[in-house]
A = this chain, B = another copy of it.
Amino acid sequence: MRIGDAAAAAGTTPRALRFYEQNDLLPPPRRTATGQREYGPRDVARVRVIRELLSVGLTVADVRDCRDRLDLLVEDTLPPYGGPGACARPLGIAQRRLDALDAEIARLTRLRERLASRMRAGTEPARS
Protein backbone atom coordinates (compact mmCIF):
# COMPACT_ATOMS: atom_id res chain seq x y z
CA MET A 1 0.00 0.00 0.00
CA ARG A 2 1.09 3.56 -0.62
CA ILE A 3 1.59 6.20 2.03
CA GLY A 4 -1.91 7.68 1.95
CA ASP A 5 -3.60 4.34 2.56
CA ALA A 6 -1.08 3.31 5.19
CA ALA A 7 -1.55 6.59 7.02
CA ALA A 8 -5.33 6.26 6.90
CA ALA A 9 -5.10 2.68 8.13
CA ALA A 10 -3.04 3.86 11.08
CA GLY A 11 -5.33 6.79 11.72
CA THR A 12 -2.97 9.57 10.75
CA THR A 13 -1.57 11.50 7.78
CA PRO A 14 1.16 10.94 5.20
CA ARG A 15 3.06 13.85 6.66
CA ALA A 16 3.23 12.12 10.04
CA LEU A 17 4.64 8.95 8.49
CA ARG A 18 7.36 10.86 6.69
CA PHE A 19 8.03 12.69 9.92
CA TYR A 20 8.43 9.41 11.84
CA GLU A 21 10.73 8.12 9.14
CA GLN A 22 12.81 11.29 9.23
CA ASN A 23 13.14 10.96 12.99
CA ASP A 24 14.11 7.30 12.89
CA LEU A 25 10.94 6.03 14.53
CA LEU A 26 9.93 4.20 11.37
CA PRO A 27 12.44 2.38 9.14
CA PRO A 28 12.66 3.61 5.54
CA PRO A 29 10.17 1.52 3.58
CA ARG A 30 10.69 -0.11 0.22
CA ARG A 31 10.22 2.14 -2.76
CA THR A 32 8.65 1.46 -6.11
CA ALA A 33 10.79 1.95 -9.20
CA THR A 34 9.55 5.53 -9.36
CA GLY A 35 10.35 6.30 -5.77
CA GLN A 36 6.96 5.94 -4.10
CA ARG A 37 6.99 4.49 -0.59
CA GLU A 38 5.44 1.04 -0.16
CA TYR A 39 4.14 -0.07 3.24
CA GLY A 40 2.93 -3.40 4.56
CA PRO A 41 0.56 -4.25 7.42
CA ARG A 42 3.45 -4.55 9.88
CA ASP A 43 4.42 -0.96 9.17
CA VAL A 44 0.87 0.11 9.88
CA ALA A 45 0.92 -1.78 13.17
CA ARG A 46 4.19 -0.15 14.10
CA VAL A 47 2.78 3.29 13.36
CA ARG A 48 -0.10 2.50 15.66
CA VAL A 49 2.33 1.62 18.43
CA ILE A 50 4.26 4.83 17.85
CA ARG A 51 1.11 6.89 18.05
CA GLU A 52 0.04 5.08 21.18
CA LEU A 53 3.33 5.86 22.87
CA LEU A 54 3.30 9.48 21.74
CA SER A 55 -0.28 9.88 22.92
CA VAL A 56 0.56 8.81 26.47
CA GLY A 57 3.17 11.51 26.78
CA LEU A 58 6.42 10.06 25.44
CA THR A 59 8.37 12.37 23.18
CA VAL A 60 9.79 11.53 19.79
CA ALA A 61 13.23 11.19 21.37
CA ASP A 62 11.84 8.76 23.96
CA VAL A 63 10.32 6.56 21.29
CA ARG A 64 13.48 6.72 19.20
CA ASP A 65 15.44 5.47 22.21
CA CYS A 66 13.44 2.24 22.23
CA ARG A 67 12.74 1.89 18.51
CA ASP A 68 14.47 -1.49 18.41
CA ARG A 69 11.88 -2.94 20.76
CA LEU A 70 8.82 -1.40 19.19
CA ASP A 71 7.99 -4.52 17.21
CA LEU A 72 7.70 -6.42 20.49
CA LEU A 73 4.71 -4.24 21.31
CA VAL A 74 2.92 -4.73 18.04
CA GLU A 75 0.75 -7.67 18.97
CA ASP A 76 -0.77 -6.16 22.08
CA THR A 77 -0.66 -2.80 23.77
CA LEU A 78 2.02 -4.27 26.01
CA PRO A 79 3.26 -7.86 26.20
CA PRO A 80 2.80 -9.64 29.56
CA TYR A 81 6.40 -9.39 30.60
CA GLY A 82 9.19 -10.26 28.26
CA GLY A 83 11.75 -11.30 30.83
CA PRO A 84 14.48 -9.32 32.54
CA GLY A 85 15.72 -6.48 30.41
CA ALA A 86 13.14 -6.77 27.68
CA CYS A 87 11.03 -3.99 29.14
CA ALA A 88 13.64 -2.38 31.34
CA ARG A 89 14.64 0.30 28.93
CA PRO A 90 11.12 1.24 27.81
CA LEU A 91 10.01 1.38 31.43
CA GLY A 92 12.99 3.52 32.34
CA ILE A 93 12.09 5.88 29.52
CA ALA A 94 8.48 5.99 30.63
CA GLN A 95 9.60 6.67 34.20
CA ARG A 96 11.77 9.54 33.05
CA ARG A 97 8.84 10.98 31.13
CA LEU A 98 6.62 10.52 34.15
CA ASP A 99 9.13 12.45 36.23
CA ALA A 100 9.27 15.19 33.61
CA LEU A 101 5.48 15.43 33.59
CA ASP A 102 5.43 15.63 37.38
CA ALA A 103 8.01 18.39 37.34
CA GLU A 104 6.06 20.37 34.75
CA ILE A 105 2.80 19.91 36.65
CA ALA A 106 4.49 21.09 39.84
CA ARG A 107 5.97 24.11 38.07
CA LEU A 108 2.62 25.17 36.65
CA THR A 109 0.93 24.56 39.98
CA ARG A 110 3.41 26.85 41.75
CA LEU A 111 2.85 29.45 39.04
CA ARG A 112 -0.91 29.10 39.49
CA GLU A 113 -0.56 29.59 43.25
CA ARG A 114 1.55 32.69 42.85
CA LEU A 115 -0.87 34.19 40.38
CA ALA A 116 -3.88 33.33 42.54
CA SER A 117 -2.29 34.87 45.61
CA ARG A 118 -1.48 38.02 43.67
CA MET A 119 -5.10 38.27 42.67
CA ARG A 120 -6.26 37.88 46.25
CA ALA A 121 -3.85 40.61 47.28
CA GLY A 122 -5.23 42.87 44.58
CA THR A 123 -8.91 42.41 45.36
CA GLU A 124 -8.70 42.77 49.11
CA PRO A 125 -9.03 46.23 50.64
CA ALA A 126 -5.88 47.79 52.05
CA ARG A 127 -5.02 46.55 55.50
CA SER A 128 -2.37 49.06 56.58
Residues of A participating in the B interface, judged by any CB pair closer than 8 Å: 55-58, 77-78, 80-81, 87, 90-91, 94-95, 97-98, 101-102, 104-105, 108-109, 111-112, 114-116, 118-119, 121-126
A55 to B111: give the CA distance in the assembly, Å. Answer: 8
Counted per complex, copies of this chain come to 2
Whether B78 contacts A97 by the Cβ 8 Å rule is no
Closest Cβ of chain B to A25, distance in Å, is 18
Whether B80 contacts A126 by the Cβ 8 Å rule is yes
Whether B56 contacts A123 by the Cβ 8 Å rule is no
Main DSSP-derived SS at the A contact region: helix
Give me 7 other A-B pairs in contact (C-beta within 8 A), A56-B118, A57-B115 excluded: A57-B112, A90-B122, A91-B122, A94-B119, A101-B115, A104-B108, A108-B108
Residues of B close to A56: CB separation below 8 A = 111, 114-115, 118
- Pairs A–B under 8 Å by Cβ, sample size 28: A56-B111, A56-B118, A57-B112, A57-B115, A58-B115, A77-B118, A78-B118, A78-B122, A81-B122, A81-B123, A81-B124, A81-B125, A81-B126, A87-B123, A91-B119, A91-B123, A94-B115, A94-B118, A94-B119, A98-B115, A98-B119, A101-B108, A101-B111, A101-B112, A101-B115, A102-B112, A104-B108, A105-B108
